Chain A
Amino acid sequence: MKLIFEKSVHGRKSDLLPACDVPEVEIDAKFARQEPLPLPELCETDISRHYTQLCQRVHGVNCGFYPLGSCTMKYNPRINEEMAALPGFTSIHPLAPAASVKGCREVLDTAKQYLCEIAGMDDMTFQPAAGAHGEFTGVMLIKQYHRARGDLARTKIIVPDSAHGTNPATAAMCGFEVVNIDSAPDGCVDLEALKAVLGPDVAGLMLTNPNTVGIFDENILEITRLVHEAGGLCYYDGANLNAVMGIVRPGDMGFDCIHMNLHKTFSTPHGGGGPGAGAVGCKDFLKEFLPRSVMMEGEGRIQVRMFEGNFLVVVRALAYLKTLGKEGVPEAATNAVLNANYLMRKIQGTFEPAFDRTCMHEFVLDLSEFKKETGVSALDVAKSLIDRGMHPPTMYFPLIVHEALMLEPTETESKETLDEAAQIFRDLFELAHKDPAYMQAAPHHAQIGRPDEVKAARSPILRWEQA
């Protein structure tokens, strides 16, 4: 389809503003823009049609099944959208007087109260705009804590090799040296490997539990105890909270701080890549280091962005929490786990799970044997799923499973949807044995065929230019 620039017609426009009712002001030539402003020129009909065409080339979770592992693509309720669009929330200036924003403050306070209860934490900030931003904020708490105690020797953060890429990148952004430890074969922490690296130079551990292969680490209390004994703190990557909310709390597992992706577990939409919100919770002893606190060295205050955070995302999450309440939260978690186990068992016998045991909210298929047999890769299967109208699972993650496909159905999918999905997987398994070449060339019925990513990276075209 054409780019918006190719639809531009010189002279087209929409009438949006009245004529200026005060005298115009001349701009000093020294500061005036010299180059032309080549933005596209369209009328509202053109724009409406263009974006409608674009949106017909997008698959959202509200359009169909989206079992993208680790992303918790649950249904995004419409009521939350309507509440976030109320003028009483959208029209509020971030620096408006405190007396005029009591409602905003109460949204944050209530969301904080509910989310702290779910996480087992004592205090919280909503300043971070996304999960990775929350990690940065959380690990900065750990940094500030050690600095405040004058313990400057703690320069390392431990990250298991099964972790999300954001974990080691975050630790590096906080000035720590990353110590990668090998996971046990089931993706859980290898206690011996952990003990071997613990010492007076360790600031903390970053961990996901359930881990990135969807298994609850049953040694979790031992893990957090060992880290604490060595003087380190434990950071919980709460991207994966959907299995455990209302069932077991990171705070009770021994974690000191946590980020939660409101755009995953708490149903706020992901917007094709954002905005999200990464609420960061902590135990009492860390709250003096939350954003707006004074920096431990030099001058200034800890702040990870402007103002209070992605407020409208918090509004949506609060509406969701009010809807679920104390009964609905664990019910959602239990059904997320039930759906994942049901789908895993329905697919099993064709594609095999990497670990043949009860999973949490997601599970990983290991296609390495299948690939040896058929020559069809995890990528080929993913692309074939597109032809069947399903969003593919997460591919090639976590790195500790080869030819991995990671599925997270979430609780908002019905049994029929799961049955259909399982049937599609079974069909593709059969097809791979009959006609592997067809699958290797998939998708056949999508918006485009497989794109040439090598070309895109070698000779980047990152903007349209007038021919």
Chain B
Amino acid sequence: MNFPKELQYAKSHEWVKEADGVAEIGISEFAQDQLGDVVFVNLPQEGDEVVAGEAFGDVESVKAVSDLQSPVSGIVCEVNEALLDAPETLNSDPYGAWIIRVKDVTDREELMDAEAYEAFCAEEG
């Protein structure tokens, strides 16, 4: 299983990549594996406020739904709408398929680096 070094990870299995004041958020390979085939993603809208540790959307598989928790607080500045037509990219390319981009980040959850997250997953799995 892949845990890219340049990313930070939340306990709820989202990854974050911060650059130029914008945080890009997606779900980890471990998360997509646990979810099974993703069939739909409920996304927020541009301009929505997200709060660290709170749900901003959810992902549906055939028989389950899981909240997407934001690891940061801020304002959604971009939404990956391609996921609406191709939710399967969350399975095939979890680190390429970002879900939202957040600006004006004011707060962060406690995040893990790749190594710590890998250990965390090993415990959960």
Contact = CB atoms under 8 A, between A and B. Distances in A.
Interface of A: 396, 453-454, 457-458
A253 to B, nearest CB: 33
Contacts of A457: 39-40, 60, 62
Nearest to B86: A458
Interface string B54-84: 0000001011000000000000000000000
Residue among B62, B87, B88 with most chain A CB within 10 A = B62
4 closest A-B pairs by CB: A457-B39, A454-B37, A453-B62, A458-B39
Given A454-B37, A454-B62, A458-B88, 11 more contacts: A396-B63, A453-B62, A454-B39, A457-B39, A457-B40, A457-B60, A457-B62, A458-B37, A458-B39, A458-B40, A458-B87
Interface string B84-97: 00011000000000
A458 B60 CA distance: 10
13 contacts: A396-B63, A453-B62, A454-B37, A454-B39, A454-B62, A457-B39, A457-B60, A457-B62, A458-B37, A458-B39, A458-B40, A458-B87, A458-B88
A396 B62 CA distance: 14
Contacts, number: 14
A455 to B, nearest CB: 9
Nearest to B60: A457
Nearest to A457: B39
Contacts of B62: 453-454, 457
A22 B112 CA distance: 80
A88 B88 CA distance: 56
A454 B62 CA distance: 6
A396 B87 CA distance: 25
A294 to B, nearest CB: 37
Contacts of B37: 454, 458
B66 to A, nearest CB: 14
A75 B45 CA distance: 51
Contacts of B88: 458
Contacts of A458: 37, 39-40, 87-88
B32 to A, nearest CB: 14
Contacts of A396: 63
A225 B10 CA distance: 43
B58 to A, nearest CB: 14
A457 B63 CA distance: 10
Nearest to B87: A458
A169 to B, nearest CB: 13
B101 to A, nearest CB: 24
Residue among A396, A453, A458 with most chain B CB within 10 A = A458
Interface string B3-44: 000000000000000000000000000000000010110000
Residue among B37, B39, B40, B87 with most chain A CB within 10 A = B39
A453 B38 CA distance: 11
A454 B63 CA distance: 10
B115 to A, nearest CB: 32
A311 B19 CA distance: 64
A453 B39 CA distance: 9
Nearest to B88: A458
A400 to B, nearest CB: 16
Contacts of A453: 62
A457 B60 CA distance: 9
A458 B87 CA distance: 8
A216 to B, nearest CB: 30
A453 B63 CA distance: 9
A205 B34 CA distance: 33
Nearest to B62: A453
Nearest to B38: A458
Contacts of B39: 454, 457-458
Nearest to B39: A457
A454 B37 CA distance: 7
B34 to A, nearest CB: 15
B41 to A, nearest CB: 11
A190 to B, nearest CB: 25
Contacts of B87: 458
Nearest to B40: A457
B49 to A, nearest CB: 21
